[in-house]
Chain A
Amino acid sequence: MAKHEHVREPLFHIAKRDTPAWWRAWGIRAIALVLALVVSGLVAFLLTGENPLKLYATMLEGAFGTSRRVWGLMQNLAMLLCVSVAVTPAFKMRFWNIGAEGQVLIGGLAAAACMILLGDSIPHGLLLLTVTVASIAAGALWALIPAVFRAKWQTNETLFTLMMNYIAIQLVSFFTYRFSVPKGSGQVGVINRATHAGWMPTLGKYDYLLNILIVLAVTVMMAVYLKHSKHGYELAVVGESESTARYIGIDVKKVIIRTMLISGAVCGIAGLLLVSGTDHTISRDTAAGRGFTAIMVSWLAKFDPVAMILTSFLIVFLEKGATEISTAFGLNDSFSEIITGIIIFFIIGCEFFIRYTVRFRRREGKSA
C-alpha cells in the first residue's frame, strides 16, 4: 500500500441513522412523494405533451370521481390488504411465502367447485358455510405443504411456494375447462346467476361493504395476533434466529407450520371473498397478481398490518388513477404503468434515506 500523508475522504459516505423520529421519517416520505409527482409529471409532459396538473387531477378523478369509483377503490384496497395481511406472519418469521397467488387461487377454486357441484343440492345457508370452510381449508393446505417440507427437511420455501403457484394455476385451468359453459369455451361464467347459491350476502345496497368489513376485521385481528399474542412473539423470535428460539424452548417446527397455516388460511379468505363475494366465477385471473403485489405492500408497511391499509391504498390508488389517465387521454396502458413505476420507485427508494444518512465530505477535508 502506498503511503499517503492524508487519507482521501470520499465525496460522500453513507451512515446508518439511529431510529429516526416519526416526524422525520414521514417528512422524508412526503418529500419523496412530491419528487415522484414532479418527475412523473415531467415524464408525462415530455412523452405526451399533456399538462401534468391535468394528469394528476385525472388520477384523483379516476380514484374518487364518483361514489362507484370510491367503492371500487375500497373493494380493491380490501382485497390487496387481505392478501398482504396474509403473507405478513410468514414474512415476520422470515419464511418467504411467495405462494400467496396460488393460495388465493386454490381457495377460490375450492369455493367455485362447491358452488358448482353443490349449488342445487343443499340449502343456501349450509352451502355458504361449506364454501367458506372449503376455501379457507384449501388455502391453508396449499401453505401447509411447503411449511411441512421446510420444517421437517429444510427445503427452500421460496422455490417451493413459488412452484405451488404454478400447480394452482394449472389446476384452475384444468377445472375451468371441466366446468366451462358453453362446452369447451374455457370459461366458467357467473356461477348460479339465477339462484345466487353460495354467493355471499350483500349488506343493504352496498355490494362490497361486507367484504371490506371482513378484511378490516381480519386486519385488526392479525395486528393483535402479531403484536400482543404469545404466538406472535414466538414467530418473531423464530424470524430473528431459529437457534435462539430453540434455546429458549420454542418448538420451531410447530411455529413454522402453525404460522403458515394461518398465512394460507387468510389467503383462502381472500379467495373466498373474490369468488363468492364479488366475481362469482373462477379463472386464472381471479387473484390478478395480488399474491405478488402483496409482498411489496407488506414490506413497505414493515410488516405492520395497520400500516398496510396505507400502503395498499397507495398501490390501488396509483392503479386506478393511472388506468383513468390512459382512458381519459387515449393512451396505452403501458404509459400508466410507467407513471406507477416512477412513483413506487421513489416511495421505496426513500426508505433508504430514512434508515441511512448521506454525509458529504466537509470542506475542511479538502487538502490545502
Chain B
Amino acid sequence: MKRKSAFLLACLTAGALGMGVLTGCGEGGGSGELSKSTIKVGLICLHDENSTYDLNFINAMEEAKKNLGLSDDQIIIKKNIPETNECKEAASDLADRGCNIIFADSFGHESYMIEAAEKYPDVQFCHATGTMAHTEKKSNFHDAFASIYEGRYLAGIAAGLKLNEMIDAGKIKAEDAVMGYVGAFTYAEVISGYTSFYLGAKSVCPSTTMKVQFTGSWYDETAEKEAATTLLSKGCVLISQHADSMGAPTACENAGVPNIAYNGSTRDACPNTFIVSPRINWAPYYEYAINAVLNGTSIDYDWTGNLSTGSVLLTEVNEQAAAPGTQAAIDEAASKLKAGTLHVFDTACFTVGGKQLESYKADVDTDADYTPDTEVIKDGYFHESEYRSAPYFDLAIDGIEQLNTKF
C-alpha cells in the first residue's frame, strides 16, 4: 500500500512537470491579416441561458454575428465563469485560441479582464457595466453601458399612466399612488434606475411616491418574491424591479398588481399584469467594437449606447394591462429624449431634502474611499453616464423611501 502510494505520487508529479515542459510554448493572440472571415470573437458569461441577464448578452452576440456576417466558429462563448481568477483564465484561454476581441458580461469580471488585457496587448478586452476603463487608460481595455435610465424613464411613464387610470376609475386616491421597487443592491446602477423610473411616472402622475426594498443579490427568486410581497403589504399598487429573476413579476401576477419588468418581456408568464419592459440591446456595441478591430480604429474607453444607437429598447406594450395611450406617450417622450429637449434628471423635476440641486459631485473615478470627484450638474440637469458609461447617480431624492439599506 505504501509503495503504491509513493509510486502514484511520483508518477503524478513527474507527469505534471513533464506536461508543463512539453506544452511550454503558449500561442499568442491572433496575428496576420484580419478580415471578416478570420476575426475571432470571445464572450465570457457569468451564468448561462437560464439567466435572463446572460441570455440578453448571448442573444445580442447572435444578432451581431448575423449583422456582421460572421460564422458560428468565429464566436466562442464561455458560460458559467465566476467573478474570480477563473475569469482571467477564461479570457487568457480565449486569447490563446486566437480571439482578437473578448467581451465579458458581469460587473465583477472587470479586474480580471484588466489583468488579462495587460498580458495580451494585441487583443481587445471589452467589459460591460464596468467603471475602471477611463482611469486605467489602457489602449486595449474598454467599458460599455447603455443609458438604460432613459428606458426606465419611459417605462415609468407607462407606470404613471396606469396609476392615473386607477385614480380616475376611483380604485385608489391620488395620494395612494404608491409604487414599489425591488432593487438588488444600494449601488448607483440600481439607484439611477429606480430614480429615473420614478421620475418618468411622476412626469405624468405628480402625486406618486415610491418604496424601495433591496434584496442583496442580483438573482434570488425567493428574496425578490418576498420583497415584492412586502411592498404589496405596505400598500404599493404597482411594482417594478431591478433584479434578474421572475420573483417579483410572479408575485405581481399572483396578486393581480401591474408590473414593469426588466431585461425582457414577462408577458407569457404574467399576461394580466405585465405592462412593458426596458432592456439593453448589446448588439450595437458588439458591432461597433468588432468593426473597430476590423478597421484598425480605436475603441472608446467608455461607450454609452442610447435610444438612438438602438442600445436602449422597450418591449411591446401589453395592451391588456397597460392604460390606453401608453405607446403614444412613450413614443413622444422618446423622441424628446433623442432630440435632447427632455432630460431624465432635470433638476427642476426633483428635490433632495426639499431643495433643488445646483451642484453635485459624484464618485465617477472608482476608489475604495468613494471620493466624490466630478461635478455632474450642468445646464440644469444631472449628466448621467457621460463621464463614464456606468451610472453614477446615487442621490436619495424626495418621494422615494428606502425600506432597507443594509445591502
- Taking Cβ atoms with an 8 Å cutoff, the residues of A that contact B are 22, 64, 66-72, 74, 116, 173, 177, 180-187, 189-190, 193, 206, 212, 216, 220, 223, 227, 278-281, 283, 285-286, 288, 304, 306-307, 309-310, 313, 323, 326-327, 330, 332-333
Q: Please tell me if the beta carbons of A71 and B96 are within 8 angstroms of each other in the complex.
A: no
CB < 8 Å neighbour of A186 from B188, B367, B407: B407
Closest chain-B Cβ to A87's Cβ sits at a distance in Å of 19
- Assess whether B27 is in contact with A66, with CB atoms less than 8 Å apart: yes
CB pair B188–A332 under 8 Å, yes or no, is no
**In-complex Cβ contact of B20 among A71, A173, A181, A286 (8 A):** A71
1/0 per position for B78-93, CB-CB distance to A under 8 A? 1110111100010011
Beta-carbon nearest neighbor of B366 in chain A: A182
Q: Are A72 and B89 in contact (CB under 8 A)?
A: yes
Cβ of B185 within 8 Å of any chain A Cβ, yes or no, is: yes
Which residues of chain B are within 8 angstroms of A185 by Cβ–Cβ distance?
A: 107, 185, 187, 189
Q: A64-B19, A326-B79 are in contact. Are A183 and B96 (CB under 8 A)?
A: no
- Taking a contact as CB atoms closer than 8 A, the residue among B72, B112, B188, B216 that contacts A190 in the complex is B112
* Given contact pairs A74-B16, A285-B84, A286-B84, A327 touches B77 in the complex (Cβ within 8 A): yes
Alpha-carbon gap, A193 to B135, bound state (A): 14
CA distance A281 to B209 in the complex (A): 39
Given contacts A184-B186, A278-B85, A330-B77, contact A68 B96 (CB under 8 A): yes
Given contacts A67-B24, A183-B394, A184-B187, A283 and B5 within 8 Å (CB-CB): no
Contact with A along B107-125 (1 / 0, CB 8 A): 1101110110000000000
Report the separation of the CA atoms of residues A184 and B187 in the bound assembly, to the nearest whole angstrom: 4
Q: Residues of B contacting A281 with CB < 8 Å?
A: 83-84, 108, 111
CB of B204 within 8 Å of the partner chain: no
Nearest neighbor of B405 in chain A, beta-carbon distance? A184
The 8 Å CB contact of A64, one of B9, B23, B131, is B23
> Contacts of A220 on B, CB cut-off 8 Å?
9
Q: Judging by beta carbons under 8 Å apart, are A332 and B49 in contact?
A: yes
Nearest 4 CB-CB pairs, A to B?
Answer: A190-B111, A184-B187, A67-B23, A184-B186
* Chain A residue nearest to B131 in the complex (CB): A182
| Residues of B1-53 whose CB lies within 8 A of A | 2, 4-6, 8-9, 12-13, 16, 19-20, 23-27, 48-49
Does the CB pair B83–A187 fall under 8 Å?
yes
Query: Residues of B contacting A181 with CB < 8 Å?
Result: 366-368
- Min CB distance B105 to A, Å, is 14
* B92 neighbours in A (Cβ, 8 Å): 68
- Answer yes or no: B171 CB below 8 A from chain A CBs: no
Chosen A-B contacts, 5 in total, with CB atoms closer than 8 Å, are: A72-B89, A182-B363, A186-B184, A280-B111, A285-B83
A67 and B6 CA atoms in complex are apart in Å by: 26
Decide yes or no: A283 and B26 within 8 Å by CB, A182-B187, A184-B187 being known contacts.
Answer: no
Report yes or no: B216 in contact with A309, Cβ–Cβ below 8 A: no
By a CB distance below 8 angstroms, the chain B residues around A184 are: 185-188, 190-191, 394, 407
- Which chain A positions have C-beta within 8 A of B186? 183-184
Cα-based distance from A125 to B139 in the complex (angstroms): 34
Most buried by B among A116, A184, A309: A184
B185 and A186 form a contact (CB under 8 A): yes
Most A C-beta atoms less than 10 A away, residue of B2, B5, B72, B114: B5
* Cβ–Cβ contact A306 & B5, under 8 A: yes
Q: Please, which residues of chain A bring their CB within 8 A of the CB of B137? A: none
Taking a contact as CB atoms under 8 Å apart, the answer to whether A216 and B79 are in contact is no
With A177-B407, A182-B370 already in contact, the answer to whether A68 and B185 are too (CB < 8 A) is: no
B406 within 8 A of A: yes
User: Is B307 part of the binding interface, using a Cβ–Cβ cutoff of 8 Å?
Assistant: no
Report whether A327 and B188 are in contact in the complex, using a CB–CB cutoff of 8 Å. no
- When C-beta atoms are compared, the residue in chain A nearest to B19 turns out to be A70
Residues of A within 8 A of B191 (CB): 184
Q: Do B366 and A68 have beta carbons less than 8 Å apart? A: no
Alpha-carbon gap, A64 to B19, bound state (A): 8
Residue B76, interface by CB 8 Å: yes
Per the bound structure, the CA–CA distance linking A220 and B407 in Å amounts to 43
Q: Is there contact, CB below 8 Å, between B82 and A288?
A: yes
On chain A, the residues within 8 Å of B16 by CB distance are: 70, 74, 212
Q: Which chain B residues (184-210) contact chain A, with CB distance < 8 Å?
A: 184-191
* Nearest chain B residue, comparing its CB with the CB of A67: B23
Nearest Cβ in chain A — how far from B193, in angstroms? 13
Partner of A177, one of B19, B131, B216: B216
Q: What 1/0 flags go to B90-102 for Cβ under 8 Å of A? A: 0011001000000
Contact between B216 and A186 (Cβ–Cβ < 8 Å)? yes
Measured in the bound complex, the distance between the Cα atoms of B80 and A64 in whole Å is: 20
Q: Given A193-B111, A330-B77 in contact, is the A309-B25 Cβ separation under 8 Å? A: no
A330 to B131 Cα, complex, angstroms: 30
A77 to chain B, nearest CB (A): 9
Name the contact of B188 in the complex, choosing from A22, A68, A182, A212 (C-beta under 8 A). Answer: A182
Contact status A285-B82, CB under 8 Å: yes
Residue in B8, B107, B367, B394 whose CB lies within 8 Å of A187: B107
Give Cα A66–Cα B93 distance, bound, in whole angstroms.
Answer: 9
Contacts of A186 in B (CB 8 A): 184-185, 187, 216-218, 407
Q: In the complex, what residues of B have CB within 8 A of residue A116's CB?
A: 368
Distance between Cα atoms of A223 and B110 in the complex (Å): 40
Q: How far is the CA of A102 from the CA of B107 in the complex (A)?
A: 25
Let me know if A66 and B96 touch, CB within 8 A.
Answer: yes
**What chain B residues lie within 8 Å of A288 (beta carbons)?**
82, 84
| Complexed CA–CA distance, A181 and B370 (Å) | 8
Give complex CA distance A323, B76 in Å.
13
B331-374 interface code vs A (CB 8 A; 1 in, 0 out) = 00000000000000000000000000000000100111010000
Whether B85 contacts A279 by the Cβ 8 Å rule is yes
Contacts of A307 in B (CB 8 A): 5, 8
B111 touches A67 (CB 8 A): no
Question: Which residues of B lie under 8 Å from residue A304 when comparing CB positions?
Answer: 5
List A contacts of B2 (CB < 8 A).
Answer: 227
Encoded as 1 (CB less than 8 Å from any A CB) or 0, chain B from 155 to 197 comes to: 0000000000000000000000000000011111111000000
Are A310 and B93 also in contact (CB < 8 A) when A183-B188, A189-B110, A189-B111 are? no
CB of A22 within 8 A of CB of B4, answer yes
Docked CA distance A74–B12 (Å):
11
* B60 → A minimal CB distance (Å): 16
Measured CA separation A304–B80 after assembly (Å): 32
Alpha-carbon separation in the docked complex, A180 to B80 (Å): 22
B104 CB, nearest partner CB in chain A, Å: 13
Q: Are A66 and B26 in contact (CB under 8 A)?
A: yes
A69–B96 Cα distance when bound, in Å, is: 10
